[in-house]
Each structure stands twice: as C-alpha cells, then as structure tokens.
Amino acid sequence: MEKKFKIGSKHIIIVQGDITKAEVDAIVNAANSQLAGGGGVDGAIHRAAGPKLLEAGRKYVQENGPLPTGEAIITPGFNLKAKYVIHTVGPIYKGGKNNEPKLLANAYKNSLMVAHKNNLTSIAFPAISCGVYGYPREEAAKIAISTIKEHLPSTVIEKCYFYLFSEDMYLLWAEVAEEVVGN
C-alpha cells in the first residue's frame, strides 16, 4: 500500500513495506549512537546490508566518537538496493520534557540535509524513535511529516518516502500526512 502527497513538484510517499527493499538513493537507519546495529529497523538494515555496514559504523565512531542524537552521517549501502544508508540517532522518549521533539525533528532534517549535500533525489525514512525508544507514534508522525514538509522544498530531493512495516503504522502515518500536507 502507498499514498502520495505533493509539495510543489516534490512528493511525500507513505508506504507499507520493508525499508531494506526500498529502491531509493538512500535509506535512513534509526541508529544507536555507537552505529553498532541493534534491534528493529537498525538490525534489519544491518542484516540486509551485510557486515561492511557495521565496519563502516565502527570506523566512524573510532574516528569521531559516538553520533550525537539528532545528527546524521552517510555510508555506502553495501548489499542493499539503496546506494547509501544515512544513519541518524533519534531521541529516547522520556515524557517529552527533555527536548525530544526538537531532537526528533533534527534527526529528520539533518538526514534530509545529508541527502541534499550528496545530490540524492530519493530517500526513505522509517518511523524514527517509535520502536524501543518509545516515542508516541502519532506525535512522532506529526513531527516527521511537518519537518519534511518544511525542509523538502529547499532540497534536490524529489521523492521522500516513509516506510512503515505494519498496517496500523501505515494507516496512522497516512492519516497524519493527510492532516499536515493535505491533497
């Protein structure tokens, strides 16, 4: 299932599916600060990309230290259909009083900017921080879609996908996109 929304000449596309199979320039990994793989989307991306993705993450952390929450970096996609993986660290939800909304918005915005700087025209996001990090799903969807709506027009990106694995998440994100973007 998928639903498209226009923002000028660009599109936000909500998809129910597996982000590791997305045929885009870059997929976004909801990473941990050590870029060490893990559960959920992060683990699935690492399994699909192969061991070189873990090596690239380790090398980054050795040279630069842990990736701060809300920041983003790019690595090759290795065995994925996507050419690149953009790694970002979403916030762990602790009630919303620890700057979580701004940090989550930054994770989306900074991932978009990394794609833009690398002249990528398509990107696929998961629902960052909505798994084990506990972010309330509807609030996270509003932050994600609003952030992309605001920043997508000033980038070279033509298509921005949100890949949601379950039908209930897909339906929620499609409903939120309808509210935030319209059309």
Q: What is the mean pLDDT, run by run of 10 residues, along the chain of 183 residues?
A: 95 98 98 92 96 96 98 98 98 94 98 98 98 96 98 97 97 97 82
Catalytic residue numbers read 42
| Burial call 71-109: b when 16+ CB within 10 Å, e when fewer | bbbbbebbebebbbbbbbbbbebeeeeeebbebbbbbbb
Q: The pTM is what?
A: 0.97
Size (the chain), residues? 183
Nearest Cα residue to 108 out of 92, 127, 84: 127
Nearest residue to 179 via CA among 20, 30, 14, 55: 14
Type of residue numbered 34: Q
Task: Give the pLDDT confidence score for residue 39 in this predicted structure.
Answer: 86
pLDDT of residue 183: 66
How far apart CA 89 and CA 53 sit, in angstroms, is 16
Q: Which domains does the chain have, with CATH numbers?
A: 2-180 (3.40.220.10)
pLDDT of residue 98: 92
